[in-house]
């Protein structure tokens, strides 16, 4: 695996053991203080997030408490308040107070290391994509609608000579990959592992065991996919595709037709 570009922000790829991951929209693996820019592990703010609290930077809170204590004036007779002169304005004082209350400054706010809607992606995205472009020999697209830019434009940056395989529950009609496998992504991957006699990591009893070919008694039967006509599109269990798309690739397509079962040896 050269690189796994993911839009997921939950870091499940790392938990699954994938190391060559680029988080296009960041992840919860880290968090940064909006004031002092101190970066910590996502595990530090996890308890606060799960309890519904706002995660705060402890050093900034301690510094604020120290500054507040040192700047408190000595107690004495309170000075009489001066009356403020009325000023002509297009808005009322209640508008000002509402604006201030709606955007209060929170000292030491910890922001997860993710890209929020409207924020630009890291500049490292373009650099990483440019470097991988020269080494990629196969592009596999799994479980996406390819509607969010700039990740959706990755395909346009890959040379046309590089084969592309789409594994998805629904077709993506604004791209034209070489192979389209439609259905439940997990089941499709299991089918490919059966056909190639691979052991998927989740099926390995002992973690850390290297991949190996299965013994004949370990190979299980799997549902054989249905090919749409003579096209590059195959349907697996759970596939959802509009009738016009199906008829485009197979004019005789009917939903009543069932897929055949075949033992893979």
First to last CA, the chain: 26
Considering 25, 91, 103, 157, which one is annotated as catalytic? Answer: 25
Which tokens belong to 48?
Answer: 């606060």
Name the nearest CA neighbour of 175 among 149, 200, 147, 199.
147
25 catalytic per annotation:
yes
- Three-state SS at 216: helix
Q: What is the distance between the alpha carbons of residues 52 and 58, in angstroms, rounded to a whole number?
A: 17
Tell me if the bond preceding 219 is cis, omega within 30° of 0.
no
Angle at 135 (CA atoms; ends 192, 125), nearest 5 degrees: 95
Name the nearest CA neighbour of 54 among 4, 9, 114, 108.
108
Sign of CA dihedral 237, 241, 243, 245: negative
- Three-state SS at 114: strand
Residues with catalytic roles? 25
């Amino acid at each position: 695996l050269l690189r796994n570009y993911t839009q997921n922000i939950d870091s499940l790829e790392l938990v699954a053991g994938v190391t060559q991951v680029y988080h296009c929209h960041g992840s919860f693996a880290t968090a940064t203080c909006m004031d002092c820019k101190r970066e910590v592990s996502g595990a530090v703010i996890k308890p606060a997030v799960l309890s519904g609290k706002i995660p705060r930077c402890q050093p900034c809170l301690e510094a604020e408490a120290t500054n507040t204590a040192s700047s408190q004036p000595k107690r004495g007779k309170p000075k009489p308040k001066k009356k403020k002169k009325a000023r002509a304005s297009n808005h009322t004082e209640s508008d000002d107070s509402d604006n201030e209350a709606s955007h209060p400054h929170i000292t030491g706010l910890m922001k997860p290391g993710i890209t929020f809607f409207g924020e630009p992606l890291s500049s490292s995205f373009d650099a990483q994509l440019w470097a991988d472009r020269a080494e990629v020999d196969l592009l596999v697209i799994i479980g996406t609608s390819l509607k969010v830019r700039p990740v959706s434009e990755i395909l346009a940056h890959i040379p046309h000579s590089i084969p592309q395989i789409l594994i998805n529950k629904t077709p993506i009609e604004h791209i034209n990959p070489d192979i389209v496998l439609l259905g439940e992504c997990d089941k499709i991957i299991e089918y490919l592992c059966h056909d190639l006699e691979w052991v998927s990591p989740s099926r390995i009893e002992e973690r850390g065991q290297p991949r190996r070919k299965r013994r004949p008694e370990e190979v299980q039967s799997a549902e054989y996919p249905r090919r749409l006509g003579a096209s590059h599109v195959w349907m697996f269990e759970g596939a959802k595709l509009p009738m016009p798309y199906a008829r485009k690739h197979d004019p005789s397509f009917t939903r009543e037709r069932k897929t055949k079962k075949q033992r893979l040896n």
